[in-house]
Amino acid sequence: MLANDNLGVNSSTRLELMSITGKNYEMGIKFHIFVRGRMPSLKEFLVDKKETWKKIRNKIETNYQWLPEHHFTWSEVNHLGQSHNHYGIHLKGGVTIFCTDTTQRVKMIYDYNSDDQLVDELITMFNKRKDKPKNRVGLIQASCGTLNVKFVEYRPYELEITPFLGEEIGALKQEMLQSFKDETKSGLYLIHGKPGTGKTSFLKEILTQTDKQALFIPPSIAGELGNPNLISLLMDHSDSIIIIEDAETVLMTREADNSDAVSNLLNLTDGFPSDFLNLNIICTFNTDIQDIDPALLRKGRLRGIQVFKELSIEQAQKLADNIGSGITIDRKMTVAEISNESFVNSYKLTGNGIGFNGSK
């Protein structure tokens, strides 16, 4: 029989449980089930500094009640000889806090019978942190037969690109930012156009202006949308923005080699999983819109679609002037072409190249 909040958990039994949980990220969830005997819900919070996590941990241990046998630290050495530490504590009131130094996230695990006030207090405590990291994106990657997330920093552009891309794209940006504020909304956004038209710059701008966590699925593993492990991983990162660049492999009309990926994308945006994952998925692609699976374009599932084009002469000139390029625009150009033309022009004017101290 599973233990509950009022029963002590034998130390050896607890360690045995830890050793059979398999994946590290399941450890806290299975410990909660072991103590409570109930299937839990989960929220995650990003804590990127060890000192910050130490302060939070001390505050939790000092301000809340817990039994000694409901507190554990677990160390292990992986196949590369690297040591990793795991920490868990189950609070009276039915909430488990779990953190592992293999990620930068703290899991709060609770169930339908947990103390609502305790849950709200802990959520408020995590959300009020002043050092929330900005300009970070989680890279989903395949490793040792499983999927994991590694958070990395990206460099935002100093210049907001949207004002130069036209009113439609400006309206889409505002619509997306407003929608992201609603934690109950999920859906699909499609952004397409030729390379260099500003799609990636637009996405960076969006991410710097929202508090939502963003996860990036690179083209090399976009087909993993059909992998059951991905759903398990996304359950640990609900209420996130998912970005899939060059997403042709998961958007095109279903064929034998991509049918699972398309079906999973449909479920993530409008199926039963969307009800508890609350994901906003942004896909970029270069193919013709006619090649996209019609089911993805259904009203209610598709929250927005926008084509990115070359800038008009007037738009291109405004962008060139704003970045101080000193060039005159005489044709339609992409954002990348304007940036590259500006760089070349600057090189010719100053004679200072990149590398070799500008020597010729």
pLDDT digits (tens, 9 = 90+) for 98-137: 998 767 788 899 988 999 999 999 988 887 765 555 678 8
- pLDDT of 287-297, one tens digit each? 778 888 887 88
- pLDDT of 179-217, one tens digit each? 888 877 788 999 999 999 999 999 999 998 998 889 998
User: Is residue 326 within 8 Å of residue 349, measured between CB atoms?
Assistant: yes
Q: What is the pLDDT of residue 355?
A: 29
Question: What percent of the chain is predicted at pLDDT more than 90?
Answer: 30
- Burial annotation 104-127 (CB, 10 A radius, 16+ → b, else e): bbbbbbbbeebeeebbeebeeebe
The residue type found at 343 is F
Q: How far apart are CA 18 and CA 70, in angstroms?
A: 13
Residue 53 has pLDDT above 90, yes or no: no
CATH 3.40.50.300 residue spans of the chain? 152-308
Q: What is the pLDDT of residue 50?
A: 81
What CATH number should be reported for the domain whose range is 152-308?
A: 3.40.50.300
Residue 256 has pLDDT above 60, yes or no: no
